[in-house]
């Protein structure tokens, strides 16, 4: 029978390491997230880290899953709020646009960008990235008032909406003017309104 206090300490140490890794990713970015920085944040030794995660790639895979879970939970709350908006489409787009600029979500987007030139990270993300995207699409579809899978065209349009807003969020990392262009959001709203329908008198998000 395993030693329960020892098992509890191991679980707590793993949680501290993952929380520290996510905090480092959010605050410092992927390139500056080192195992030393993670250990310092967690208050644990390098030996303790590698006891739980034999390689940095293994740590990043677990940290990415931990981060994605946080992003999904935050996005779920945003989608629940969007359901209460008088203008469901406009409210959803405005809330999505704001949520994608949240540091937690920006950190998840940065992981995907970094994976382009980091094979180890790309391999770590591969098993969880598709499920993460599907979770966001499922939540977004519900907020926009459509049923996932009801139509390939509708599913593709929801993906396009998410991609466009995530692109705006990525633009904000570099301080791009387009990332804050309200005209883009209004144009997207008009397209989405035609696709999903809206009531008379609803107005574009600002």
Co-location of 44 and 83 in the same domain: no
pTM of the model: 0.82
pLDDT tens sequence across 165-197:
999 888 877 665 445 678 888 999 999 988 886
Question: How far lies 139's CA from each of 2, 34, 104, 144, 159, in Å?
Answer: 40, 33, 17, 9, 11
Co-location of 99 and 120 in the same domain: yes
Place of tokens 């599913």: 155
Residues 108, 127: Cα–Cα separation, whole Å:
15
CB neighbour list of residue 148: distance below 8 Å, 6 or more residues apart: 137, 138, 141, 142, 155, 158
Co-location of 84 and 40 in the same domain: no
Co-location of 102 and 185 in the same domain: yes
pLDDT for position 180: 60
Co-location of 31 and 70 in the same domain: no
For the chain, how many structural domains are there in total? 2
Instruction: Check which CATH number belongs to the domain holding 44 and give it.
Output: 1.10.10.60
Rounded-to-10 torsion of CA 195, 200, 203, 205? -40
Domain range for residue 85?
56-196
Residues 76, 41: Cα–Cα separation, whole Å:
28
pLDDT for position 181: 76
Residues 33, 21: Cα–Cα separation, whole Å:
7
Co-location of 173 and 121 in the same domain: yes
Nearest-Å Rg of the Cα atoms of the chain is 19
Is 205 part of a structural domain of the chain? Answer: no
Residues (pLDDT < 70) of the chain are 1-3, 174-180, 197-206
pLDDT for position 204: 52
pLDDT for position 198: 53
């Amino acid at each position: 029978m395993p030693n329960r206090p020892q098992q509890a300490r191991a679980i707590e140490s793993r949680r501290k390491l993952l929380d520290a890794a996510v905090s480092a990713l959010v605050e410092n970015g992927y390139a500056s997230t080192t195992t030393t920085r993670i250990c310092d944040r967690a208050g644990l030794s390098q030996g303790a880290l590698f006891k739980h995660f034999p390689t940095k790639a293994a740590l990043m895979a677990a940290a990415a899953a931990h981060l994605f879970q946080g992003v999904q939970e935050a996005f779920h709350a945003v989608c629940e709020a969007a359901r209460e908006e008088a203008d469901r489409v406009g409210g959803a787009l405005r809330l999505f646009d704001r949520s994608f600029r949240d540091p937690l979500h920006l950190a998840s987007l940065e992981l995907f960008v970094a994976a382009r030139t980091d094979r180890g990270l790309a391999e770590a993300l591969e098993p969880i990235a598709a499920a993460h995207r599907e979770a966001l699409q499922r939540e977004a579809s519900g907020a926009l008032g459509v049923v996932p899978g009801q139509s390939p065209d509708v599913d593709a349009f929801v993906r396009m909406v998410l991609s466009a807003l995530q692109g705006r969020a990525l633009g904000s990392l570099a301080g791009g003017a387009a990332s804050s262009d309200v005209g883009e959001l209004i144009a997207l709203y008009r397209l989405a309104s035609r696709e999903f329908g809206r009531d008379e008198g609803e107005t574009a998000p600002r």
